[in-house]
Each structure stands twice: as structure tokens, then as C-alpha cells.
Amino acid sequence: MKVTKAQAQANRARIVEIASTLFRERGYDGVGVADLMAAAGFTHGGFYKHFGSKADLMAEAAAWGLEGTAARAEGADLAAFVRQYVSRQHRDSPADGCTMAALCGDAARQSEPVRVAFAAGLESLLTALGRGDDTADTHLRRDSRAARIDTIAHAIGAIVLSRACPDDSPLADEILNVCRSAILSGSGAPSKR
């Protein structure tokens, strides 16, 4: 039975979504093509009808996951975003969480298309968190962007460090609490207007 173009696009989207989840949960090296395709409900042989390589899928799955993070940040108050992001719930759910927090370390060692997807995703997040910051003053815009970069880096670092500790470690929670408090107290997170 021939697959329609619409069905092929839906199948590809399903593979990308499943890959994004599995990569965030297990890392890029922790997911093989056969396991990925089985999780998506397809055979291993069908992979190359959709993607030229695993690296191509990694870049597309990264872009998909990063778009989701930016979409969640869109229109959100920065403090509310930080409270949700730098939380035990986010820390304990890498498969459902931010692609940057789950895969930045892996992405740094991947092909350029994967790193380009991460850079574009970071730009999207910076833009989403900066909505409403429409000052004409170049210095204020630059300072606001710098503060958003600091906030994002601080938040991602908090999640990464916390995840590196055992789940029941008091240090894991302490990292989240200290970093969230520091960000919210104004060390890098201006209130969103």
C-alpha cells in the first residue's frame, strides 16, 4: 500500500517528536536508529526514506524541542518562567524538559547542523523572553539581552548541575534553590514588562 505525501509528512513529524523525547532522555549516543524507529512504530529500514543520517534527525529533533521551549516562554513573565524552569519537576523530567538543559553538552560535540539548531533555538528563546522590551535605547536593549543570556545560562547550569547529582541528594535540591533565588533576586533576571 502506497503512503500518501500527507501520511509521509505525518510519519516524519512523529519520528522527529519521538526522537526529540528519546534524545533528551538518553542523550544522542544513547539512542540507536532501530530503537528510535521501533518507539515511533516503524521499521528500521524506513528511517532513510525520511532522513539522510542520524545527524540530520538530531538537528531536526533539536530544532523541534527548542521551538517548544521558546513557545512556552512566549508571553510568560520572566520570573514565572524561571520558577518553572529551575524546578525539581523540570530537573526530574528530562524527556519532557528543555532540549538545551538535556543536550547542550552532547550538542557541543556534534556536527555543525546540530550546533546551528541549538544557536537558533537559543536566539528564539532570547527573543521570546524579551517580548515587551521594545526600548529604542541601544544600550538598554543590549543590557536587557545580556541579562536574558545570563538568566538562561544560569538556569540551564542549575538544571545540568542538579541532574549530575543523585536524585535523592540534598545537594541536587540545594543547587536548584540557590540558583533560582539568585536569578529571581535580580542577579540577572530583570522583571519582564
| pLDDT at 193 (0 to 100) | 31
Cβ burial, residue 106 (10 Å; 0-12/13-18/19+): middle
Please check the confidence at residue 188 and state whether its pLDDT lies above 60.
no
Q: Cβ of 174: how many Cβ atoms within 10 Å?
A: 12
Distance CA 99, CA 160 (A): 11
Question: pLDDT digits over 122-144, tens only?
Answer: 999 999 998 767 666 777 888 88
Segment 38-55 shows an average pLDDT of 91
Whether the per-residue pLDDT at 187 is higher than 80: the answer is no
With contact defined as beta carbons under 8 Å apart, do 179 and 155 qualify?
A: yes
Q: Are 100 and 118 in contact (CB under 8 A)?
A: yes
pLDDT tens digits, 91-110: 999 999 999 999 999 999 99
pTM: 0.87
What's the one-letter identity of residue 120?
A: A
